[in-house]
Chains A and B, each alone.
Chain A
Amino acid sequence: MELKRISPPLDDQQVLELKAGDTLLIDGVIYSARDAAHKKLVELMEAGKSLPLDLEGQIIYYVGPTPAKPGQVIGSAGPTTSGRMDAYTPQMLSCGMKGCIGKGSRNNEVKEALQTYRGVYLAAAGGAGALLSQAIKKVEIVAYEELGPEAIRRMEVAGFPVTVINDAYGNDLYEQGRLHYAKK
């Protein structure tokens, strides 16, 4: 089966075409940010200051990679648990972010904000950091280098595999998938 491909920046129409359960490949540029970088970005938003990156239409990847060995683009680079970013995600969406990649459940505020702002929550395979690193072709730090693995990185990806968990219609693959296979 030919997989659907998406390439950020995304607009409302492109987001509305994505449904929970879809498997996609991402080509182009995504940005990494996790706990500490989210805290800094939201502090800037609340202070009305400009951000070190334009979030409009972008996809944020929750990842803190291992250091690249000489000759490698990046080390192991799988998703971290998304729930820790729940507190910041509605604000990120209100500033133009269209998608985020992580693993694990989101809270109701995030699911509602995905509908309000037309965004999508994607999961990459947790624990498959070596496999996912192969789809990352170029990396540069754009902000907060002092945060080490938590710095914001611009990543050029080709065929980066993700699955839609929460779409802009309120569907949740984690709930649907579990109910389909639950025997108790």
Chain B
Amino acid sequence: MKEIEAGQITEKVAEACEHANIYLGDDVVQALQKFHETEESPTGKEVLNQLLENNQIARENGIPICQDTGFAVFFVEWGQEVLLKGGTLGEAINEGVRRGYREGYLRKSIVKDPLRRENTGDNTPAVIHVEMVPGDKVTIHFAPKGGGSENMSAVKMLKPSDGVEGLVNFVVNHVKDSGPNPCPPIVVGVGVGGTFDKVAVQAKKALLRPLGEPHPDPFYAELEQRLLNEINQLGIGPQGFGGSTTALAVHLEAYPSHIASMAAAVNINCHASRHYQITL
């Protein structure tokens, strides 16, 4: 059986925290460049330029892209032929977050208790989703999530009779209501199917997919494109100043559904769509 030391995970997670917060992904840079060409508003074009310039400055000076370096969210795919030694997975990841946020001069944005609100001082605990998978590989996706865009999330228990139109209306109206708040141009994660809890996780998981990579099922790939087109007709534009680039991408994840239900969720990411993958 393959063995992994907890310390290896801690080290990789610490690196991931710094990297994801300072370096904008190539997929995001390409999307910003592509939409810069088609943006109808001169102010909107200027905002997209500022975001590209921001990326350059962050890269050259080792400054985080955004001051909100986020809640540390992890999706772990753990190969069941792998044995973890020297600690628990939760401790290993949290120690990596602690180290990465301290050594990377990242902001500590987590409070111990939602009502009493005292900062934990080290950006822990992380939010960790674990899935057991076949094989002997461990894949850890890290996606720091800012509060401004996270606050613009929604879950709705649609009826099966609402169908495709009901889902499209829910998503597009929700993006419209969110307006300038989540720092457009945004990336929209949509979950559909499953239960109340499952659909929210699916919407977040959808945000891990590299921008520009469509859903493997052509039916959903087409639906993603339709949602993107409708969202970009809303006119919100970069920073909400008006324009044709409100979203850079829409990613959807579907899950089997109960005969009585059609759960739907929207989780919005800001333009940076920070994500980083570790493989062990």
**How extensive is the interface on chain A, given as a class?**
35 or more
The 6 closest A-B pairs by CB, nearest first: A177-B242, A182-B235, A181-B235, A126-B183, A104-B181, A130-B58
A177-B41 Cα distance, complex, nearest whole Å: 9
CB under 8 Å from chain A, chain B span 153-206 = 179-181, 183
Question: Of the candidates A67, A80, A134, A174, which one forms a contact with B68 in the assembled complex, judged by CB atoms under 8 Å apart?
Answer: A80
Are B67 and A66 in contact, CB atoms less than 8 angstroms apart?
yes
Binds A, one of B101-109, B124-132, B207-215, B254-262: B101-109
Interface string of B99-128 (1 = CB under 8 A from A): 000000111110000000101010000000
**CB of B11 closer than 8 Å to a CB of A:** no
Residue of A nearest to B107 (CB): A66
**CB of B148 closer than 8 Å to a CB of A:** yes
A72-B105 Cα distance, complex, nearest whole Å: 11
Indicate whether A178 sits within 8 Å of B234 (C-beta atoms), given known contacts A64-B107, A127-B271: yes
Q: How far is the CB of A183 from chain B (nearest CB, A)?
A: 4
Q: How far is the CB of B72 from chain A (nearest CB, A)?
A: 14
Indicate whether A130 sits within 8 Å of B64 (C-beta atoms), given known contacts A66-B105, A67-B107, A178-B236: yes
14 contacts between A and B (CB under 8 A): A65-B107, A67-B107, A69-B105, A80-B148, A104-B148, A104-B181, A149-B67, A174-B241, A177-B41, A177-B242, A177-B243, A178-B237, A178-B240, A181-B242
CB under 8 Å from chain B, chain A span 159-184 = 161, 163, 173-174, 176-184
Residue of B nearest to A66 (CB): B107
Indicate whether A133 sits within 8 Å of B239 (C-beta atoms), given known contacts A75-B105, A105-B180, A174-B180: no
Say whether chain B's binding surface is mostly helix, strand, loop, or mixed: loop
A residues within 8 A CB of B235? Answer: 177-183
**CB of B50 closer than 8 Å to a CB of A:** yes
A residues within 8 A CB of B234? Answer: 178, 182, 184
Are B179 and A81 in contact, CB atoms less than 8 angstroms apart?
no
Question: Of the candidates A75, A148, A179, which one forms a contact with B67 in the assembled complex, judged by CB atoms under 8 Å apart?
Answer: A75
Q: Specify which of B55, B181, B271 lies most central, judged by the most chain A CB atoms within 10 Å of its CB.
A: B181
Indicate whether A103 sits within 8 Å of B180 (C-beta atoms), given known contacts A76-B65, A130-B61: yes
Are A127 and B270 in contact, CB atoms less than 8 angstroms apart?
yes
**How extensive is the interface on chain B, given as a class?**
35 or more
Q: How far is the CB of A148 from chain B (nearest CB, A)?
A: 6
Interface string of B60-82 (1 = CB under 8 A from A): 01111111110000000000000
Are A125 and B50 in contact, CB atoms less than 8 angstroms apart?
yes
Are B54 and A181 in contact, CB atoms less than 8 angstroms apart?
no
**CB of A44 closer than 8 Å to a CB of B:** no
Q: Specify which of B40, B47, B105, B108 lies most central, judged by the most chain A CB atoms within 10 Å of its CB.
A: B105
Residue of B nearest to A80 (CB): B148
Indicate whether A125 sits within 8 Å of B239 (C-beta atoms), given known contacts A64-B107, A104-B179, A148-B108: yes
Are B64 and A75 in contact, CB atoms less than 8 angstroms apart?
yes
A residues within 8 A CB of B236? Answer: 178
CB under 8 Å from chain B, chain A span 78-129 = 78, 80-81, 83, 103-105, 123, 125-129
B residues within 8 A CB of A36? Answer: 117
A residues within 8 A CB of B119? Answer: 148
Indicate whether A180 sits within 8 Å of B242 (C-beta atoms), given known contacts A67-B105, A103-B181, A148-B119: yes
A residues within 8 A CB of B241? Answer: 123, 163, 173-174, 177
Sample of 6 further A-B pairs with CB below 8 A, known A126-B148, A128-B51, A149-B67 = A66-B69, A69-B63, A75-B107, A105-B180, A174-B179, A184-B234
A residues within 8 A CB of B107? Answer: 64-67, 75-76, 149
**CB of A77 closer than 8 Å to a CB of B:** yes
B residues within 8 A CB of A178? Answer: 179, 234-237, 240, 242
